[in-house]
Amino acid sequence: MSTFLLMCWEFFKTGLFAVGGGLATIPFLQEMSAKYGWFSIHDLSTMIAVSESTPGPIGINMATYIGNHMFGLAGGIAATLSLVAPSVIVIIIIAGMLEKFRDSRVVKGIFEGLRPAVVGFIMAAVLGIYISSLLHVDVWKESGVFTDLFNWKALALFAVLLAFYKWKDKLHPVFIILIAAICGIVFGF
């Protein structure tokens, strides 16, 4: 199978199984990174930062970014459509049956079971992003020195921005994103 079709298939599967929104796509993207090497975990952290900073759903933004990175404009469009296609197909199928099964105990039970699974997917993704952003696991493995494990600049920025966010409880998250972007440029994260 060509790499282009494989990319489309992987994003189709991601769109089909990433229940719970854009953050639920992150574990699938981590798997793509490990399995195919199309992008590194560091690249994934950058994609998440850019996708969170730009308008639109994070999953679609990342699919567009990866597809464009791999195959240009055609890849960006194909990856995005591949990610969205399962949702469109499922919505078309379910729309006709929704009224009939809306009050079904089985359907309610399925959704009750999906909620904790979605939370688990999102928490796994968040943990992976924290580890890749705040720790230098590769450097630590090579040196064996415990203090090399930590990305001290990133930890300091995280602590300062978290404290600032808690101190100014009405501060819009866009300002935090802008401050973090400026610090990243100035201090070379």
For position 110, what pLDDT does the model report? 83
Contact 17, 29 (CB under 8 A): no
Query: Distance of CA 62 to CAs 29, 57, 102, 114, 147, Å?
Result: 9, 9, 33, 24, 33
pLDDT band at 6 (very low <50, low <70, confident <90, very high): very high
* Euclidean distance between CA atoms 146 and 60, whole angstroms: 38
Alpha helix stretches (DSSP H) within 18-104: 26-36, 41-53, 58-101
For position 75, what pLDDT does the model report? 95
pLDDT band at 73 (very low <50, low <70, confident <90, very high): very high
Checking if the pLDDT of 142 tops 90, the result is: no
Q: Indicate whether this model's pTM tops 0.75.
A: no
pLDDT band at 134 (very low <50, low <70, confident <90, very high): confident
Checking if the pLDDT of 157 tops 90, the result is: no
Contact 26, 12 (CB under 8 A): no
For position 163, what pLDDT does the model report? 86
By percentage, how much of the chain surpasses pLDDT 90? 19
pLDDT band at 189 (very low <50, low <70, confident <90, very high): low
- Indicate the DSSP class of residue 147: G
Checking if the pLDDT of 19 tops 80, the result is: no
Contact 115, 44 (CB under 8 A): no
Contact 7, 71 (CB under 8 A): yes
> Which of residues 18 and 136 earns the better pLDDT score?
136
CA 126 to chain centre: 8
Stated length of the chain:
189
For position 26, what pLDDT does the model report? 83
pLDDT digits (tens, 9 = 90+) for 97-119: 777 777 788 878 888 888 898 88
